[in-house]
Structure 1
Amino acid sequence: MSGRRVLIGIGGGIAAYKVCEVISTLAKSGVEVRAILTDAACQFITPLTVATLSRHPAYTDEDFWQPHKRPLHIELGEWAEVFVIAPLTANTLGKLAYGLADNLLTNTVLASTCPVLLAPAMNTDMWEQLSVQRNWQQLLTDKRYHSVGPGAGLLACDRVGAGRMAEPAEILPTIASLLHAKGKRDLAGKRVLISAGGTREHLDPVRFIGNPSTGKMGLALAQAALHRGAGVTLVRAPAAWDVPLGVQAISVTSAKEMEQEMRSHFSNADVIIMSAAVADVKPAEYSAEKLPKRLLPTNLPLEPVPDIVAELATLKKPHQKLIGFAAQTGDIVTPALEKLHKKKLDAIVANPIDKPDSGFGSDNNQAIFLDKQGHKVEIEPCSKLQMAHYLFDFIISY
C-alpha cells in the first residue's frame, strides 16, 4: 500500500466522523491521502482534523476558487488512483447521477478516470425514496462506480433501518481491492465457493478437538472475490469476524456439516477454494451431556472425518476449478505437490505456519502457489487480502 494514492471526498453528514479512521489508517500504512470536504462536510468535521490525519492540507470549495498552477480539480483527478466518497449524501448522489458539477468534489469526479468507491449514508426514509434509489441504480450502471453499504442499524436520528454508512473495516479492504485490481470486475458472472475457519469435532457439548485457524484467510478470499465482481458463498466454521455485505454465509461447526454444505453448493460454483482447516479425526463417541471430569477417557478413541476436498474432486466438472490449501512446517512444497496430485486439485496454496507473522491467526501470510500444469509462483509476506488477490490472479492466468 505504501505510495499508493487515494483521494477522499467527504460529504455533509454525521457519518463523516467515521472517515477520520479511514484516513488515519491509510496514512499510517504509507498511502498518500488527499481529501476534499464539501461546505456541508465542514459543519461536521474540520479541515484541520482531516489535514492532521492525512499529513496533507485538506481542500475545500474555498481552495477551488483560488488560483493554482493547474486547475485544482484537474490536478486532483489525475493524481488519484482511487476516489472514495464517504459519506455519499443524497444531494451528491443526485449530482453524480446526472453528471452535474457545482463544487470541488463533483468537478473532481468528472475530471478523474479512476475507480470511484461510494459509501452512502442517510436517514432510512431518505434512502428509500424512489428518486434516490433511481439515482443510485443509474449511477451503478457506470462501471467506474463501486459501492460499499449502506448497512442497517441504529442511525444518528434514532431510526433503525437501512442507510447506515459502512464501517471503516468494510471500506478499507474495498479500497485495497480497488487499488490491486484497478477497479476491474474480472470475476463478474462467476460463482466462488469458499470454506473458512477451523472445524470443531466435539467430545461433548463443551469439549472438542480443534485447531488455531481463525478463518481470516477465507474472509480475505471472500472479500477479494466480492470486490472483483463474483457472487460469493462462504461456508465458515466458528469465527469472530463479521461476514461482508453481499456474501452468502453459511455457518457450520464440524467437518461433517462443512462437507454437507460444500457438496450442496458445489454444482453452482465456478471456483471452489478449500481454505478451511478441517479436522483429520474426531472422537469415536459423542456424549450429548457434559462428561464429568472423572468420566473423561484417558485414552480417546478416534475415527477419521470425511476428506472434503478429495470428495469434491470426484464431483468436479471441466469448467470448475478446485483449489486446496496445505498449511505446513518445514518443507512446504513436497507435501503440497503430493496433495495436489493425490486429490486431483487444479491448484494448491502451500503456506508455512512456522514463519513469523504468517499462518493461523495472523493478518499476514506468505505462500507458494502450485498448479497441475507445473506453474509455481512464490508470494512474499503480505496481507491476507493481498494474498487472496494474488491467488485469484494466479487462477485467472492459468
Structure 2
Amino acid sequence: MANVDIAERDQTKEDNGDAALHQKHAAMLQRLAIKEDARLQKSAARRAGSLASENPNESTDRFVDAFSTSAKQLEQTLSSLQQLVSSEAGRSSARSDLDATAIRISELEQFLAEHSYFLPVYEVRASQSAVSMLREKLESVNAEMLPKKRFSFKGKANKIPKAIEALSVKVSESIRPSDSGARDILQSVQDCEGTSMEAAKHSEALSMRLACVIQDLEGAIVVRDLKEQEDSEVILENLTSCSVYIRGICRAMHVHKVKSCKIYAGPITGSALIEEVEDCSMMLASQQIRIHNAKKTDMYLRVRSRPIVEYTSDIRFAPYAFSYPGIENDLSVASLNQETGLWEHVDDFRWLRATPSPNWCILPEEERAAPVDGSL
C-alpha cells in the first residue's frame, strides 16, 4: 500500500512538472509571439512612414522643372509690370500685382529652401542666383513706382558767391592803378564767380543727399526731421547707448557699429543695411532690409520683401510699432502703408537647411515693446 502511495505521489509530481513545463513553454511562445507582432508592427509602420514621407518632388529633375516654370512665369510677370509702371496711369493698378509677385518670389525661395537638402550644390547655387535676379528685378520695378524727387534751390543764400563778391570789392579798393599784378588777381576772382555759383548749387545738392549723418555719440538722444529731404540717406555710425528718432522719409539707411541703442525711423523708400549691431532695438519700415554681423537685437519691421540675415545670432523679429504725426501719409508715399506680414518670413543666407534657422526667432507678444510715439 505504501508503494502505491509513493508511486501516486511520484506520478503527481511528474504531472505537475509537465504542467509547469508546458506553462513555461506556452509563456515563452507567447512572449515570442508578442515580440514578433511588435517587430511586424514596427516594420509596417516604417513602410507606411516611408510611403507617407515619400515626396514626388524629391527628384532633381522634377524640382528643376517646377522651379524653372515658376521662375519663368515670375520673370514674365515682372516684365509686364515694368512696362505697366512706365506710365502714370498704370502705376496705381500695378501696386497690388507687385505685392502678389513679391509674395510669389518669397514662396519660390521657400520652395528652394525646403528641397535644398537633396539637391546638388551647383543646383542650389543656380536656383539662389535665379531668385536673386528676380528680387533685383522686383526692386527695379518698385524703384520706377517711386520716382526720385527733383531738387529745388529756393530760399537759400549763396554764401560762396557773396564771399567772392566781398573779396573782389576789397581787392579793387586796395589796389593802385599801376598795380597790374593785383588787377590780374581781381580779374581771376571775378572770372571764377560764375563757376562758383554752380559749385554752390552742387554743394547744396550734395548736402541735401547726405542730410542725416549721426555718428560718434554715446548716451545721446537724437531727433531728426527729414521733411523735404526724401532723397537723402541716413547714416548711423559708431553709436553707443543712444536713442535715435528719425521722422520723415529717406531714400536709404545704413547702420554701422551700433551698440545698446534704440533706433526708431520713418519709412525708407529704398533699402536698409544693418551691420555690426549688438544689444539694440530697431523699428524700421523699408522696401528691403539686410542684416549682417548682428546679435542680441530686436527688429520691429515693416517690409515689402523678406528680411535677409547673415552671420547673425539671437535676432528677434516683430511688427513695426513706431509713429509720429504724419507717418500714415509718409508710409503711403513710400508704398509701405500696408502690412505685408513679411517681417516674420526671414531668410538666413547662412542656413540653407529645411529646418528653421537657430539664428533668429519671432519675438513673443508678451515681450514686445509698447508702440513708440516719436512726437517728442
Give me the TM-score of the superposition, normalised by structure 1. Answer: 0.21
Which structure exhibits the higher relative contact order, with contacts defined as CA atoms closer than 8 Å and separated by 6 or more residues? 1
Greater helix proportion: 2
- Find the structure with the greater CA-based Rg: 2
